[in-house]
Structure 1
Amino acid sequence: MNKGRDPLERIANALERLAPSAPPATNWLSAPAYVWEGSGAREVGDLTALPLSLLRGIDDQKTRVHDNVARLATGSAAHDMLLWGARGMGKSALLRAAVKQVQDGAPGALGLVQIAPDALDTLPRLFESLSAAERKFVIFIDDLGFADNDAVGPRRLRSWLEGGVEARSSNCRLAVTANRRAILARQASEQDPDSGDAALNPRDAVDDKLALADRFGLSVGFHPCDQSDYLKIVRGYTDPLGLDFTDADALEWASRRGQRSGRTALQFVVELAGRAGIAL
C-alpha cells in the first residue's frame, strides 16, 4: 500500500514545487506609491515627482487638483478626477506632484496606486483589497483610452465611478488622465446626418460618450500653451538651477519638436543642464 502511494506523493510534491507561489500580501500602509499589476501590487519606495512650485503655466489646474487630493487625505469629501487635454502639458506630472506634496505634509495618510496598462479589468479586486486599509488612496489610470468597438470597458468604468456593485471603495478616488474630455474617440459619422444610420440620433451618440466624463466630479482641462506660457514654463525650471538661455534657443527647440508644451520645456532644460554638466 505504501509503495503504491509513494510515486503519487512524489508527483504531487514535485508539482507543488513547480507551481508558482502566491504573491505576498501587500502592505498598503508602508509605501508612498504602488503599481497594481492585476494579481498583486509592487511597492514603490520613493515617489518621484517634480516640486509643485516648478510646474508653471497651469496655476488654476494646480490649485484644483492639489486641493482635492488634500481633502481626500484628511478624510473630507473629495472627487474622482479627470485630467484631460493637450499632450505634454503636465497632467500626469501634476497629479504626482500634488500627491507628493500632500504626502510630505501628512506622512502615511495617502497612497498612490498606479494601474498597469493591462490590469484595468482587475480593478474590483484592487478595490476589495484596499477597502480594509486604514488609509486613503488615489487610484491613478494614466493615458486612458478605449478602442472604438469597446462597449464593455467604458460601462465598467462608469460602474466603478458611480453606483455599480463593483464601485470603488469609499477610501479611494480615481484619477484618470486622457487626451480627450470624452475619453473615447469621436467618429465623424456621429455628427453626420448623411451617415446612413437613421436610427441613431447623432447628439445621443456624443452625449453617451460624454456621460462617462460626467461621472468625474472634478474635470480639469489642459490646453496647448502659447509662446509666453512656454517661456514661463522653461524659466520655472531654469531659474532654480541658474541656467541661462535665450528665448530664441528655447523657441527653436520647441519648433523642432512641433509643439510648445511643458514636456518640451523640460526636455529643453535637460539639454541645457547636460551642456552645463549639471545632474537633475
Structure 2
Amino acid sequence: MSSLNPQLIAQVRFLQRQAASLLLYQSLLTDAIGQAFINLLVALEQESNALDCLQAYGIFFQEQAANQQCWQDYLIAQILRADNPFTQQAQQTDLKNLPSSLVAAAKSDLHCLQSLYQCSGEQLSQWIQQLIPLSVAPVVWQPEPDRVEKIEELPLKSQFAKLENWGDIIEELAAHYRQFGIGLFAKSQAFRWQNRELLGIFHPDPVHFSQLIGYESQRQILLQNTEFLLAGYAAQNVLLYGSRGSGKSSLIKALLHQYGDRGLRLIEVAKSDLQDLPIVIEQLRGSPHKFIIFVDDLSFEEDDDTFKALKVVLEGNITARPQNVVVYATSNRRHLVREYFADRPQPREVDEVQAWDTVQEKLSFSDRFGLTLTFEPPDQQTYLKMVDHLAALAGIRLETQELEFRALQWATRHNGRSGRSARQFVDFLTAELALFSVTSHRRDHES
C-alpha cells in the first residue's frame, strides 16, 4: 500500500478542520452521507489499510446512490433546507434585523462548506487510487442529467456553483429561507403527526381535482377558503360532513397538488392524537408556509375528552392561533359527538341540574367550524357521470350502455352509489380488461 504525499495529507486535514469548525450548520454532516464523507476523510488521513479505505469509499458511494445525489448537489440541497438558529430567524425577519454575530457565523460556515464542496467525488476517487494504488480509479457517482430538481432551488444551486466566496450569497440565501421555509417543511409537502413528532410523507395520495366529479359548489367554497389562507387572510376552519365515500377526504388531499407549489402543507392528525394539537400548532408558528391540519373521519363518543383539545384550537385560548393554520375535518356525523336519548334530561334526582347545557354543548360543537360543507349521497345520474369521467381518464373503451349497466350492478352488489364506489368499479374494470387483453394475446400467440 502506498501513502499520500504530504501535500495531500495536509489537504485532507484541512477539510477535517473545516468540517469541525462549523458553528451553525453542523447537522448537515450528521446524517448518512455526511458521516460517510467524514469517515472517508478519517480513513485517508490515518492512511488505514487498503481494505478500510476501499470500504469507506464504498459506503460513501452507496449513500450517494441511495439518495441519487452526488456529494456536491447533496451539500447545496442541505444548505437550502437547513434548520438551525440562523435559518429559523432568517425565515421570519429581514437579514438586516438579525444579530450581527449570527450573520457572521453563517458566513463563516458557508466558507467552510465551500471548502467541503470543492472536494468532489472525482478528487476523492483519485486519492483512493493513489493510496492503494489501483490500476483504475473507483467509480464516481454522477447525477443523472434528467433528475427532477425542486424548481425553487435551481437558481441558488447555479449561483453556489459559480461563486468564488459563498459568504457573498448570504442575502439571497436568507430570502430563500423566508420564501420557501426550512427543515422538514422544505423537504416535503405532506406530513403525519405520529409519536409526538412530524413525519414527512414523500409519496402522498396522487388524487387531483380533475379526477373528482360532483359537489361543485362545495369544492368552490373549499378552494376559495384555501385561497384566503394562502393570501394571508383569516381563513375559516372547515367541517366536511356527509355520506361515506362522497369524496370529502379526496377533496382535501387534492388541495395539496393544487397549491403545494404555493407553499401549502398538509398535516394529517389522527383523532387519537388530537390532544397534541396545541403542540403541533406551536411548531407551525412563524413558518412562511400555510398549513391545513387534516382530521379524517372525526367523531367523538359520549365520554371522549379529546374534543376539548380541538375545541381550544377552533375557538382559541389566551394564545392566539397562527393565521397560517386552519383545520379541515371530515365526518359522517353532523354533530360529531354521539348523542343518546338517555343523554336528554329526565326528572330524576341524580340528573345534572343544567343537563340541557351539556346536551347543547355536544350538539353545538360542530358549529365551532366556520364553514360546514354538506355532501349528500349522489343520485344515479351523478354516480354514472362519475363513472363515465373516471373511465375516460383510465382509457376504458366500452359502449356507454354496457359501462353504465355494469356500474349500476357494482353499486348494487357493493357499497351503493358514491364517488368511492365509482373509483373502485373503474379500478376493477381497468385491471379486468387489461388482464383479459393479455390473456387473449397469449392465446392468439400460442395458437
Q: Which amino acid aligns with 1:156?
A: A
Task: Give the corresponding residue for 2:231.
Answer: 74
* Structure 1 unmatched ranges of 5 or more: 1-23
CA distance in 2, matches of 1:262, 1:192: 40
* Structure 2 unmatched ranges of 5 or more: 1-81, 84-182, 436-447
- 8 A Cα contact 2:274 2:309, kept in partner: no
Q: 1:131 aligns with which of 282, 285, 304?
A: 285
Which moved further from structure 2: 237-246 or 175-184? Answer: 237-246
CA distance in 1, matches of 2:242, 2:413: 22
**Bigger Rg, which one:** 2
Task: Give the corresponding residue for 1:160.
Answer: 313
- TM-score scaled to structure 1, two decimals? 0.80
Q: Identify the structure with the greater helix proportion.
A: 2
Corresponding pairs, count: 251
Structure 2 CA distance for partners of 1:242 and 1:202, relative to 1, 3 Å: farther
Which moved further from structure 2: 117-126 or 140-149? Answer: 117-126
CA distance in 1, matches of 2:354, 2:380: 41
Task: Give the corresponding residue for 1:55.
Answer: 212
Structure 2 CA distance for partners of 1:155 and 1:112, relative to 1, 3 Å: same
Task: Give the corresponding residue for 2:31.
Answer: none
- Identify the structure with bigger relative contact order (alpha carbons < 8 Å, sequence gap 6+): 1
Q: 2:263 aligns with which of 93, 106, 109?
A: 109
Q: Which amino acid aligns with 1:147?
A: E
Task: Give the corresponding residue for 1:97.
Answer: 254
SS in 2 for 1:120: helix
Task: Give the corresponding residue for 2:392.
Answer: 239
Which moved further from structure 2: 269-278 or 214-223? Answer: 269-278
Task: Give the corresponding residue for 1:33.
Answer: 190
- State percent identity of aligned pairs: 33
- 8 A Cα contact 1:226 1:260, kept in partner: yes
Q: Does 1:183 align with 2:336?
A: yes
- 8 A Cα contact 2:274 2:307, kept in partner: no
Q: 2:363 aligns with which of 210, 216, 240?
A: 210
Task: Give the corresponding residue for 2:101.
Answer: none
Q: Does 1:121 align with 2:278?
A: no
- 8 A Cα contact 2:265 2:290, kept in partner: yes
Task: Give the corresponding residue for 1:3.
Answer: none
Structure 2 CA distance for partners of 1:213 and 1:167, relative to 1, 3 Å: farther
Q: Identify the structure with the greater strand proportion.
A: 1
CA distance in 2, matches of 1:167, 1:156: 15
The Cα shift of 1:188 comes to: 2.6
Q: Which amino acid aligns with 1:48?
A: D
Structure 2 CA distance for partners of 1:29 and 1:223, relative to 1, 3 Å: same
Structure 2 CA distance for partners of 1:80 and 1:195, relative to 1, 3 Å: farther
Q: Which amino acid aligns with 1:214?
A: D
Report the aligned-residue RMSD. 2.5
Structure 2 CA distance for partners of 1:101 and 1:200, relative to 1, 3 Å: farther
- 8 A Cα contact 1:137 1:173, kept in partner: yes
Task: Give the corresponding residue for 2:180.
Answer: none
- TM-score scaled to structure 2, two decimals? 0.52
CA distance in 2, matches of 1:192, 1:199: 8
Task: Give the corresponding residue for 2:426.
Answer: 269
